[in-house]
A and B are shown apart, each in its own frame.
Chain A
Amino acid sequence: DAGVIQSPRHEVTEMGQEVTLRCKPISGHNSLFWYRQTMMRGLELLIYFNNNVPIDDSGMPEDRFSAKMPNASFSTLKIQPSEPRDSAVYFCASSKTGYEQFFGPGTRLTVL
């Protein structure tokens, strides 16, 4: 199994630009989670999907953030417009049971 795949691994962009992060969950997993890791707040859940449907987006910081899961094998997290305070590592995770989550390698985002 390839595990959770995220792309890109690194993204450097300028303030105001649109950023799109991508995730391919493990085949057969029915839940998908987007997290953000910062030094101050650790790992924060942004949004999670179950069977491609958004269940809880209460962690999404503001309207500049949006996430989609058009099918069981693909999800995107979009930031538009991006700001320097969005700089962080973004992780995607998937699970079959909803308990043990398997994480991707993360996307390190730097907004200048």
Chain B
Amino acid sequence: DQQVKQNSPSLSVQEGRISILNCDYTNSMFDYFLWYKKYPAEGPTFLISISSIKDKNEDGRFTVFLNKSAKHLSLHIVPSQPGDSAVYFCAANRGNEKLTFGTGTRLTIIP
């Protein structure tokens, strides 16, 4: 039972344009959401997070949007840069417990 889903295994975006990565979840008890970025042969690194009491959180070029009624969150990267090419994982948490990860989306930025 995949409680966190990333339905797009891959995404290609032109450099300078906006990248939008999507994530859906099924468990309404999740109250904290995170995005991790992973380069090949490295562990995932934390990128940005959002609490369920907010609907938007911004950090530089990265913005995460949360739509609780739709159980959907998205990560926007503007403008996209070649160094953004990586696998992005969405994760969710309820209380001070384990993270449930999605299967990841491979983002490729085309120069």
Q: Which A residues fall within an 8 A CB radius of B?
A: 4, 33, 35, 41-45, 48, 56, 91, 93, 97-106
Q: Which of B41, B46, B104 contacts A100 (CB 8 A)?
A: B46
Q: How far is the CA of A43 from the CA of B87 in the complex (A)?
A: 12
Of residues A91, A97, A100, which shows the largest number of chain B Cβ atoms within 10 Å of its Cβ? A100
Q: Which residues on A sit within 8 Å (CB–CB) of B49? A: 99-100
- Answer whether A45 and B100 are a contact pair too, CB < 8 Å, given A99-B49, A100-B46: yes
Interchain CB contact under 8 A, B98 and A48: yes
Interchain CB contact under 8 A, A103 and B44: yes
- Residue in B closest to A43 when the chains form the complex, CB atoms: B101
Q: Which of A33, A45, A101 contacts B46 (CB 8 A)?
A: A101
Q: Which residues on A sit within 8 Å (CB–CB) of B104? A: 42-43
Given contacts A45-B99, A102-B46, A105-B43, 17 further A-B contacts (CB under 8 A): A35-B101, A42-B89, A42-B101, A43-B89, A43-B104, A45-B98, A48-B98, A56-B97, A56-B98, A97-B96, A98-B93, A98-B97, A99-B93, A100-B34, A101-B46, A102-B45, A103-B43
